[in-house]
């Protein structure tokens, strides 16, 4: 193989490798099956989470809307596995913020990956790449009268 062919093959391989690393897929996964999992039961706090239109509407007080953006290493994990870990991390961050602010629930939780809202009571959105996966959420912290 002459030198010019070797250079062309090398450049083509480099371009293909770079585009594979730049993968940024958006996937949707089921919320309830994740919340029912053992890893969720171990990771999350006892602060109720209400997604999209499944949120209560009467509150004793409201703190306001907060957001979180969590990433996880996706190396050697399926997209779904990495996304579920990122989602649990994001949900826990919302719950911890509710505790800090003296609130009892997080309502109107929506995905907000790359500042593009996706509202669903049954699914969350996650961005998956070659080495990272991420979940961004918004939710409103409230205190519900008991």
At 19 the pLDDT is: 46
**Is 28 part of a structural domain of the chain?**
yes
At 53 the pLDDT is: 83
> Which secondary structure element, helix H or strand E, spans residue 62, and what is its range?
strand 61-73
Q: What is the CATH number of the domain that holds 58?
A: 3.30.110
What residues make up the domain containing 99?
24-143
CA 106 to chain CA mean position, Å = 15
**Is 10 part of a structural domain of the chain?**
no
CA distance 94 to 115: 17
At 12 the pLDDT is: 54
DSSP string covering 75-143 = TTS-HHHHHHHHHHHHHHHHHHHHHHTT-SEEEEEEE-GGG--B--SSEEEEEE-SSEEEEEEEEEEEE
pTM: 0.84
**Is 66 part of a structural domain of the chain?**
yes
**Is 32 part of a structural domain of the chain?**
yes
At 18 the pLDDT is: 45
**Is 8 part of a structural domain of the chain?**
no
**Is 94 part of a structural domain of the chain?**
yes
**CA nearest neighbour of 49 among 123, 108, 114:** 108
Residues of the chain with pLDDT under 70: 1-21
**Is 3 part of a structural domain of the chain?**
no
CA distance 43 to 98: 16
Residue-wise pLDDT for 4-45, tens only, equals: 665 665 565 554 444 445 788 999 999 999 999 999 999 999
**Is 53 part of a structural domain of the chain?**
yes
CA distance 61 to 119: 23
- Phi, then psi, of 141 in degrees rounded to 5: -90, 130
Domains identified in the chain, total number: 1
CA distance 134 to 108: 20
């Amino acid at each position: 193989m002459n030198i010019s062919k070797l250079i062309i093959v090398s450049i083509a391989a480099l371009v293909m490798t770079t585009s594979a690393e730049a993968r940024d897929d958006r996937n949707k996964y089921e919320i309830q099956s994740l919340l029912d999992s053992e890893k969720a039961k171990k990771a999350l706090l006892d602060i109720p989470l209400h997604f999209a239109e499944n949120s209560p509407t009467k509150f004793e007080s409201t703190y306001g809307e907060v957001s979180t953006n969590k990433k996880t290493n996706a190396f050697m994990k399926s997209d779904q596995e990495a996304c579920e870990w990122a989602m649990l991390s994001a949900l826990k961050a919302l719950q911890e913020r509710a505790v800090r602010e003296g609130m009892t629930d997080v309502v109107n939780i929506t995905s907000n990956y790359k500042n593009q809202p996706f509202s669903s009571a049954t699914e969350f959105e996650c961005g998956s790449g070659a080495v990272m996966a991420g979940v961004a959420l918004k939710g409103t912290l409230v205190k519900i009268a008991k």
